[in-house]
Amino acid sequence: MKVEVHEEVYRLMHPKLTFLLTSVDKAGTPNVMALAWATPLSEEPPLVGIAVGKDSLTAANIKSTGEFVLNVATMELAKATLLCGTRSGRKVDKFKSTNLTKQPAHRVNPPYIKECIGHIECKVKDVIDAGECYLLIGEILYVCVDDTVFDEYWKDEANVLLHLGGSKFVTTRSR
Ligand SMILES: Cc1cc2nc3c(=O)[nH]c(=O)nc-3n(C[C@H](O)[C@H](O)[C@H](O)COP(=O)(O)O)c2cc1C
């Protein structure tokens, strides 16, 4: 039997790789949020699309500074990711409450998160209105990865965090 789905319709499009997205405001103060709605858009030029809630501090930061970093999270970071995805940087310093470590990026101002295994540095190329979100199109400026867990593809031990929806996660380890 096939049943009609309403509120959870987007969950049919999960699991999705989960990022800890870092941004900064005009003064350089960093923030981090959880983000699963990200997709490659083009290889030449290298472009990614991310859907970010209009009310979030992250959207305000990215719209004013035009930069963000997608940090690839692992299952070990599931608890920190949930916190970064349920609290706003408008109310709490999420770096303090998670103990995540900031590291300078190569080409942009938002920091890397040291505990993550891959980092994609982006500059905003376009902002598209999309319901309660902005679809932000980012040009990729620099990418680096932990080579102990990546060799052309994610290795099994990378334990990449995949979001099923809500507070549920799975990982690439179960392949
Ligand atoms: C695993 C996970 C994935 C999420 N993915 C997204 C997403 O793709 N886009 C989005 O706008 N919000 C997403 N959220 C919710 C934001 O992370 C949340 O609204 C956050 O509090 C925004 O923080 P900020 O106000 O500090 O920017 C996700 C939450 C979780 C837990």
Q: 17-57, pLDDT tens digit by residue?
A: 999 999 999 999 999 999 999 999 999 999 999 999 999 99
pLDDT, position 7:
85
Residue range 92-99: average pLDDT? 98
CB 118 within 8 A of CB 150: yes
The ligand 1 atom nearest the CA atom of 169: 1
Confidence of residue 68 (pLDDT cuts 50, 70, 90): very high
Q: CA-CA distance, 48 to 140, in Å (whole number)?
A: 7
Confidence of residue 174 (pLDDT cuts 50, 70, 90): low
Alpha carbon of 115 to ligand 1 centroid (Å): 19
Q: Which of the residue ranges 7-11, 63-67, 87-91 would you say has the lowest mean pLDDT?
A: 7-11
Strand partners, 20: 34, 71
Q: CA-CA distance, 145 to 71, in Å (whole number)?
A: 10
Confidence of residue 75 (pLDDT cuts 50, 70, 90): very high
pLDDT, position 162:
97
| Chain position carrying tokens 């303090």 | 96
Confidence of residue 92 (pLDDT cuts 50, 70, 90): very high
Detail the DSSP E strand segments found in the chain: 16-17, 19-24, 30-35, 38-42, 47-53, 67-72, 102-103, 112-113, 118-130, 133-145, 150-151, 153-154, 161-165, 168-171
Q: CA-CA distance, 35 to 91, in Å (whole number)?
A: 18
Classify domain 9-174 at the CATH superfamily level: Electron Transport, Fmn-binding Protein; Chain A (2.30.110.10)
Three-state DSSP state, 63: helix
Three-state DSSP state, 50: strand
Nearest protein CA to atom 19 of ligand 1, as residue: 85
pTM for the whole thing?
A: 0.97
Domain residue spans of the chain: 9-174
Residue range 60-67: average pLDDT? 98
Average pLDDT, the chain: 97
Does the CB atom of residue 41 touch ligand 1 within 6 A? no
Residue 63 exposure: Cα atoms within 13 Å on the Cβ side: 16
Identify which of 29, 35, 162 to mutate to test ligand 1's pocket (most ligand atoms within 8 A of the CB): 35
Q: CA-CA distance, 102 to 98, in Å (whole number)?
A: 11
Asked if residue 169 has pLDDT above 90, the reply is yes
Sign of CA dihedral 80, 62, 53, 139: negative
